[in-house]
Structure 1
Amino acid sequence: MELLLIHQNYPGQFRYLAPALGRLGHNVSALGASPAKPAQRASHLHYPWTTPSLPADLVDPALETSLLRGERVAERCLRLRDEGYRPAAILVHSGWGEALYLREIWPQARLLIYPELYASPRLLGYGFDADLGSPPFALRAQWRRRNLMNLAAIADADVAVVPTLFQRDTFPPHLRSRFHVIHEGVDLEQVRPNRACRLQIRSGLVLRRGDPVITFASRYLEPLRGFRTFMRCLPALMATHPTLQVLVVGSTASGYGAVSAHPQGYKAEMLALLGDQLPLDRLHFLGRLGLEKLHSLFQITVAHVHFSYPYALSWSLIEAMACGALIVGSDNPPLSEVLHHGHNGLLVPFNDPEALGSWLSAILRQPEAFAPMALEARRTVETRYNLSAAAAAYDNLLRSLVALPSDQA
């Protein structure tokens, strides 16, 4: 069938899913905010987008930006319709306003939305992160407005799809029956262990599997993904293990959560706090990495630290598990939906850097004792998050929706 995928940062979550649906016989087209590298077997289109210059007195610039984004997508889709394009189904990430007018343009198409999360104070750490107090009313009001795009999309959609039960349950109870829980899957042929892997960090430093290496990776170095907790565990850990190399992946730009009080971000904040206690020659900040190097990092690590607020499940966690990494994660959803302590990883309280350091030290002393957990993590991905099963589930859902009469979808 003709299937249109829409994501402002395409391919985003659809990186593996788009080509897999193509292999199942769908004619996949994709629409994003810029001409990016297309997913295999997907026709990649784009709508014109630059960050708008907005009046200073707007109540909510982010909401206005979403409305403008919805208009740009509508303009591009109207041109596609006028050219004769008629998708049987549309799968769209609805959080940025891109789904706003799709029902008006293609009323007969089956509309599947990917709303990801329903914003609330706890998702951004309030009542969870010991470093945060209570959110002011203005911030609570802003989060309510952030939910408007997803709520409008749910009203128009035939179904909503999210990757975890936790993410579904962030939405109000009366909406949850509209949801299907389907993780988009990982290509296990592409993302796999490699015992022969080598990763060059700098001139003269090449790391291999078996070297004492601890890793941390996040899109942004911010508290939402446990960066402060991780940094606080390092002084004692690196002093106890004098050959340990620590690799940190992530951007220093502002992320999803609160902005650092330090003008140069959370990395600079934590180094100002802890820098004189850290051997900086063994602590390597690598910035953002491409997928190939990121997978290499997962393949060589003795333990990979992945902490998170109760927020969207990061694809990097599942890919690290697929690469055979031993995961030390925070003991809260959504990680606790994936990891079971002592079985396929280790879970530690989010606000306890001492406990995190203690477990990492134990792993460094006897890595072979924890190796079965890493093997089980890979089996978890093979069983629950493999691409073939994910694509089949999406395929079944799409075909069942298209087969229904319009008044029953």
Structure 2
Amino acid sequence: MRLLFIHPNFPGQYKHLVEHFAGRPDYEVVAIGAQEKVEPAESSQGIRLIRYPTTAGASPATHHYIRGFEAGVRRGQRVARVAMDLRREGFVPDVICVHPGWGDGLYLKDVFPDSKVLGFFEFFYRPSGSDVGFDPEFPITFDDICRVRTKNGVILQSLESFDWGVAPTAWQHSQHPAPYRNRISTIFDGIDTDFVRPRAGARIHLDHRGFALGDTDEVLTFVNRNLEPYRGFHSFMRALPLIQKRRPRLHTVIVGGDGVSYGRAPLDGSSWRQVMMREVGQGLDISRVHFFPKLPYRSLISLFQVSSVHVYLTYPFVLSWSMVEAMSAGCAVIGSRTAPVQEIIRDGENGLLVDFFSPPGIADAVDEILDEPNRARKLRDRARRTVVERYDLRTVCLPRHVSLIHGLHAGILPGAAAPA
């Protein structure tokens, strides 16, 4: 079987699938990614990796509603040219796996009309009912509503032309338009639960002076790619002074950059970390708050292994891998009572749920876990069991994804893609 994987940030969500197929004698694997995003180290044995040059963004004269669409068209055109080169060389894939969000897949069916195209449909934007307008602290305008509705242009084109799709959670699946949902399977990316597991006696060194925390310390963790309102950073920071006041031995480790992954940057040009430190910093014992812009993956898992309680907050939006990884590592997780989190965390069974907008509620939940170690142990055990049974990479998610690819190749499509 010939497989083509396309992701501007290759491998992205395809890391485990590519590793599964690469180097096997019955498979020829080619991958396409953006020059500016793909690192040389991502080129694995058994894969031919093609990097396309940086694409120009939208023209400044383009209406701001459709700048993303124009950028997607430019990227799709660039990928189509790479695909045409492959076709001229004689490479015609049986199945193409592509993330359509940036436009990479727009013209694949025009280059390879007989290939089956499987899209990773991560999110469909809604002007109401999900992330947009969720947070009253950041009110939206009618202009925002129109912009968001227009933002789906690339995704709609892909939904129309692709053969099948995958969404990682049932809630993300449900956000897509009803006429297309029966052609989207719900398959989570998968967690390597053999690697991401509890470890008795775990310790993590936090600086060059030898300061370390272990699994017998009181450790509160908060992890995201960037520290921003979409992931509840403002609510968490507003809870932290109260948490510290109640728990004088507790250390807090916060991992995340100062950029913006979602939403908007502060109007004053600073970062959300700076904004929140100006707001609550005087009420904090900063010697017990440890910020890291990023941690190596092994260090991140070590952090989860020493964590006494992990807080994960999000708007109704794409669910972060980190929450599920924290559960797999045996964390007692406090999650926001928002749809993507509620799909996985059952309040009082495998974690606790809190109001996204309630700093006192977050602080109370931290106390509830740290003051009741026996209950916390049950939450931890059930959290890990949830991930092992429903989201394990090797036994659940990867086999389903591989089976779907083989089915597409054989012309056998799933009968119905109702969320599990």
TM-score (norm 2): 0.91
Q: Is the Cα–Cα contact under 8 Å of residues 123 and 311 in structure 1 kept in the other structure?
A: no
For residues 189-200 of structure 1, the aligned pairs below 5 Å read 189-200=194-205
Question: What corresponds to 1:366 in structure 2?
Answer: 372
Equivalent position SS for 2:286: coil
AA of the residue aligned to 1:45: L
Change (3 A) 1:44 1:122: farther
Q: Please point out which of 320, 323, 327 is paired with 1:321.
A: 327
Q: Is residue 392 from structure 1 mapped to residue 399 from structure 2 by the alignment?
A: yes
Change (3 A) 1:123 1:50: farther
- Bigger mean CA deviation after superposition, 221-230 or 191-200: 191-200
Separation (CA, whole Å) in 2 of partners of 1:239 and 1:51: 51
AA of the residue aligned to 1:15: K
Separation (CA, whole Å) in 2 of partners of 1:14 and 1:123: 29
Q: Is residue 312 from structure 1 mapped to residue 318 from structure 2 by the alignment?
A: yes
Question: What corresponds to 2:32 in structure 1?
Answer: 31
AA of the residue aligned to 1:55: S
Q: Please point out which of 42, 47, 51 is paired with 2:51.
A: 47
Equivalent position SS for 1:397: helix
Separation (CA, whole Å) in 2 of partners of 1:269 and 1:371: 36
Question: What corresponds to 2:188 in structure 1?
Answer: 183
Report how far residue 205 of structure 1 moved: 1.2
Gaps of 5+ in 1: none
Deviation sequence 1:204-226 (CA, Å, 0-9, x none):
31111121100000111111111
Report how far residue 22 of structure 1 moved: 4.3
Question: What corresponds to 1:238 in structure 2?
Answer: 244
Separation (CA, whole Å) in 2 of partners of 1:329 and 1:129: 16
Gaps of 5+ in 2: 416-420
Equivalent position SS for 1:256: coil
- Bigger mean CA deviation after superposition, 69-78 or 50-59: 50-59
- Bigger mean CA deviation after superposition, 99-108 or 395-404: 395-404
Report how far residue 177 of structure 1 moved: 1.4
Separation (CA, whole Å) in 2 of partners of 1:379 and 1:405: 32
Q: Is residue 339 from structure 1 mapped to residue 345 from structure 2 by the alignment?
A: yes
- Bigger mean CA deviation after superposition, 36-45 or 222-231: 36-45
Give the root-mean-square deviation of aligned CA atoms: 2.1
Equivalent position SS for 1:224: helix
Question: What corresponds to 1:78 in structure 2?
Answer: 84
Q: Is the Cα–Cα contact under 8 Å of residues 4 and 93 in structure 2 kept in the other structure?
A: yes
Q: Is the Cα–Cα contact under 8 Å of residues 198 and 330 in structure 2 kept in the other structure?
A: yes
Question: What corresponds to 1:56 in structure 2?
Answer: 60
Q: Is the Cα–Cα contact under 8 Å of residues 21 and 395 in structure 1 kept in the other structure?
A: no
Report how far residue 201 of structure 1 moved: 1.0
Q: Please point out which of 251, 255, 280 is paired with 2:261.
A: 255
Q: Is the Cα–Cα contact under 8 Å of residues 127 and 149 in structure 2 kept in the other structure?
A: no
Change (3 A) 1:314 1:72: same
Percentage identity across paired residues of the two chains? 34
Aligned pair count?
Answer: 406
Report how far residue 56 of structure 1 moved: 2.1
- Bigger mean CA deviation after superposition, 362-371 or 316-325: 362-371
Q: Is residue 402 from structure 1 mapped to residue 409 from structure 2 by the alignment?
A: yes
Question: What corresponds to 1:166 in structure 2?
Answer: 171
Q: Please point out which of 93, 99, 116 is paired with 1:93.
A: 99
Q: Please point out which of 272, 275, 289 is paired with 1:266.
A: 272
